[in-house]
Structure formats: C-alpha cells, structure tokens
Chains A and B, each alone.
Chain A
Amino acid sequence: MLQFIIRRTCYSIITLLILSLTIFAVVRFTGDPATLMAEPGARAEDLARVRAQWGLDRSWPVQYYQFVQNILSGNLGISFNYRMPVSELYFERLPNSLQLALAATLLSFLIGIPAGLLSAVRVDGIWDQTGKVVALLGLSIPGFWLGLLLILVFSVYLEWLPTGGKGDWRNLLMPALALGWYFAASLLRLTRSSMLEVMRSEYIKLARLKGLPGYVVIAKHGFKNALVPVLTLAGVNLVVMVNAAVIIEVVFAWPGIGRLLFEGIFQRDFPLVQGVVVLAGVMIVFVNLLIDILYAYIDPRIRLMR
C-alpha cells in the first residue's frame, strides 16, 4: 500500500510539473508576458517590479524556476482589479464552489442511483425506457441551457425560487440541479448496467436460491458491488463538474471560483486568470490522488496496477 501511495504521489508531482510548464509555456509563447502581467498604465517602476517578480528578463529556465518558486510559496501574483493576492481571492471563494459541487453530487446521487436501480430491476419496462431517454437527454443538454430553462420556469413564471446569488437552500437548488444533471444521467446509466451485470451473476443466483428475499439480495449484495464503478465515475466527474461549474456559476451568479475566473477574463485581470487556472489544476491533481488512494484502499486489485 505504501509503495502505491509513493508511486502515485510521484506521478502527481510530475503531473504538476508538466501542468506548470504548460501554463508557463502558453503565456510565454503567445506574446509578451510583461504586457499581460502588468496593469495598463503601468509606469516604468511598475513594469520593472513585474519583471523582477517573475524574472521576465532572464533566461527561460530561470524564469520557470522563478515561476515554480512563486507558486510553491503561494505567491500567484496580485490581482489587478482586487489588489489582493490571487491565492487569497481563490480560497475566499473556494468554499462556495465546494458547496455547489457537493450539493450537485448529492442531488445527482439522489436522482441517478435510484433511477438506475429502478431501471435495472424493471428492465425494459416503462421505467427503463424513460430512464434511457432521460439519461440520453441529460448527456446532451448543455448545462447552461438547462440552467436558463430552470430560471425561466421556476423563477420567472412560477416565481418559486430566486434567480441567483448565494443564500439559503432555495438559491442552491437550481444551480445544483443544472450542475449535477449530467452526472445524474451518467450515474443512471452506470448504475443500471452495473446492477444488471451483478444481478445476472452467479453470486446473486446463489443468494436467490438460498431463499433470500429479492430486496435483500439487491440491497446487500447487488448494490455494494455495483457501487465500485460509481466511485470511479465520481472521481472522473469531479473534473467535469469543475468545468461545468464555471458556466453554472455565471448563469446563476453564484460567487464561486468559476465566476471569479469569468470576471477575471472581462477585467483582463491576467494574474487572476492564470492563478485560478494553476490552482484549479493543483486542486484536481490533489483530489485525484486522494481518490486513487481511497480506491486502492477499497479494491486491492488496484494497488497492483501500474
């Protein structure tokens, strides 16, 4: 187990290095980073300060070293607009994004898994057919369109829910739904196929022969085994959710990281944009590592994989 952790951690570190190198390269290759990183109207002293901080007049390896050093010490630059360290802004908004992501995941579990189970248990019935269509739709609907439709129906016409911003559970419901919809659809499909596979397995047939009642069989044996691929999907989905969250946060004016990035774009706040991208990548690598370890803990076969 320890070996696995060490190996995975090493991989993560390499990934992070490549990540930072990519971001670094993109900025340097596409123009003058000093212009990007200095505020408009910067005077000579400001430009000089920017050059010094990021080592822009040195050779590229030195610059990169400076870049990594800055990141490691948590110095991702100062936002032009907010005049605050980017890392501070990021962590200030992070809890909001996490709240949304968790709510979305929870909702999608609550919708996707029972629906998938139902589809599997009553395979090829009405439920199943409906489920298939819904799942397919879910994977095809752009999240922001769903969000806009939800606002149209529940906020504008029915006036049940607020249109956006942060508040209580009512503010959270629609964005969480719009964000988690895609995941719910995948979960539905996955749960269904997983369940079907398990239900047809010898293991379950044996349990049935033993005379155990149907729901016990499903609950105890089928469900647990079907859950394993769900965890994998959850890990993958985290990245999708961080992506989609940008859009959902904009549609619903939710004050999270995605919106921070979006605002940074129109404020041409380059340190902010770069900082958010770097931190988002770091977060994902970190969380993936945790999930990998968790997964390996659950399923011993994984530990032996390369």
Chain B
Amino acid sequence: MSTTTAPNAIEFSAPSPLRRWLRELPLLPVLILLPFALMATFAPFIAPYDPTEPVPGAKVFAPPFWMVDGNTATLLGTDFQSRDLLSRLIYGARVSLIVGLMGTVVAGSLGTVLGILSGYIGGWVDQLIMRVTDAWLALPALVFAIFLATVVGPNMWNIVIILGLVYWTRYARVIRGEVLSLREREFVQLAEIAGASRLRVIVRHILPNVLNTAMVLASLTIGVVIIAEASLSFLGVGVPPPEPAWGLMLSEARSTLMAGKWWLTVFPGACILLVVLATQLLGDWLRVRLDPQQRNL
C-alpha cells in the first residue's frame, strides 16, 4: 500500500492521548481519590487494628479522640463492639472501591461490547440488544440487584457481577450511538473497502475511538455503582458482617443515632460522599475535555 493513507485515519486511529491528560489532571478529585485508593491498597499496613475484632481495652462507643471520653488509641471512636472505627473505614474503602471499580469494569465491558455489536452489526442483533436494554432499564437497578443477591447469595464477588449485570445498559445505549456515527466515517469505510474483516475493523478502528466515551461514562457510573453497593450493604444484602463495608456500617449505626453516637453515622457517610463526589468531578472534567460542547449538561 502507498504511503498516502488518509491523514485523518492516522490522527483518529491513534490511541487516546493518555499521557497528555495525565499531565493535566484536575487537582481536587485526585486529591480526594488518591488517599482512598492508597487506603484500600495498603489497608493491612495502614489500619491500626483488625477491623472485625474488638480493640482490647477500648470502651464500647468511645467517641473520637477530640471529645470527652475519647482516646487517641482509637482516633475516630469505636462502635458497639468496641471495634476501631478508623480501621473499619480503611478496610471498608477496599470493599467500596473494589466493588465500585470492578463493578464498573464489568458493566463497562459488557455494555461496550454489546453497544459495539449493536451499532456496528445492526439489523436484528441491534433490535434484540436494544429491546433487552429497554427491558433491563425498566427494572429498577437496585430492586433487580436485590433480587439477584437474594437468589445467588451475598458475598463480595457476587455483588461485583450483579452490579455489572445491572448497570451495563447505561453503556450500551451511548456506545451504540457513537458507533452508529463512527460507522459512517471515512476511515472506517476505507478499511472495510480494503477488505478488513469485521472483527479487525472493530478492534482497530471502532474500539479505540469508543474508549474515550467509555471512560467518561465509567467515571460517571463509578459513583453510582459505589452508592449501589453501599445501598445493598445497607439493606443487608451486600457484604455480610462482620466484614466492614461503609454501607453496612451505616446500617449498624442506625440504632445508635438516637443514642447520640454521631461519629458512627457521619464518618462512613462522609467517606461515601467524598469518593462519589470525586468521581463525579473527575467525570465532569473528562467530559469537558472530550467535548466542550457538552459543558452545560
């Protein structure tokens, strides 16, 4: 083949400018997410105590150290079994982040694949996938997740799969739209004419261009998935006790609200809030970078 390939093809077929972005990451979301990510990764080294065992010698319902009756040994206080709150928050980050991340990955992969197939192949495949998407969107995500958890039983990896199965529809629709417009672009059509197989076209041309959108979507849904996991744990169909998960901690703290043990409610909730907020901001930033026209959405 001659060297005169269409200039557009090179520009758009190149991998996304990840390096460029890394240099210009937004400060706030990263400042928030990085500590949580570190907490989750290095939990056994950072956490002062075992999160499922009572702290020896600690009182039950000790408040944070700056309050009366507080103790610097248990910085953020203890719960109804004198377990250290800080340790539980740190280990809880694992559950939230792992489930959030992995759930989004599962949902994203499934949704992207189906979206591409739907958009590119078209025809009855498209119709079928779109109808299934409609159907699954009709099922309220949480309700469906609860249903699945009831049937297969709650444990962390089941929850990851369940959340993936519940949230893929968000991707499918959007990716499909992208693919539909991509399909008409010159470079794709050129590749098709050149005799490239469908699979090759998908992998080399469609997929890389769709990845940007997929990533934006991912950063937006990760917050939703984290809240969904927290909700499932709160309802008792997420990670079973005594393993710490932020939603579960909120659930256990419900009866202590009245007893004035505010730290058991405020801190886990604040963690969820911060992580979701950070992912939201990150997603917004990504979306703006990708397409300034969408700034106002």
Binding site for B on A (CB under 8 A): 11, 14-19, 22-23, 26-27, 30-31, 36, 136-137, 139-142, 144-145, 148-149, 151-152, 156, 189, 193, 196-197, 239-240, 242-244, 246-247, 250-251, 261-262, 265-266, 270, 273-274, 276-277, 280-281, 284-285, 288
Contact = CB atoms under 8 A, between A and B. Distances in A.
Most buried by A among B138, B151, B152, B265: B138
Nearest to A21: B135
A32 B131 CA distance: 28
B138 A288 contact: yes
Interface string B145-159: 011101110000000
* Residues of B contacting A: mostly: helix
A261 B152 CA distance: 16
Contact of B131 (A18, A140, A243, A281): A18
Majority-rule SS of A interface residues: helix
A242 B143 contact: yes
Contact of B230 (A139, A142, A280): A142
A265 B237 contact: yes
Contacts of A240: 140
A156 B273 contact: no
Given A19-B138, A36-B151, A193-B296, A140 B235 contact: no
A239 B237 CA distance: 21
Interface string B5-47: 0000000000000000000000000000000000000000000
Interface residues of B, number: 46
Contacts of A246: 140, 142-143, 146, 231, 235
A27 B151 contact: yes
B139 interface: yes
Interface stretch (B49-57, B188-196, B255-263): B255-263
B272 A145 contact: yes
A239 B170 CA distance: 13
A30 to B, nearest CB: 5
A141 B137 CA distance: 23
A65 B122 CA distance: 30
Given A239-B140, A277-B143, 12 more contacts: A14-B131, A14-B135, A15-B135, A140-B273, A145-B250, A145-B272, A148-B250, A148-B265, A149-B269, A262-B146, A265-B237, A274-B147
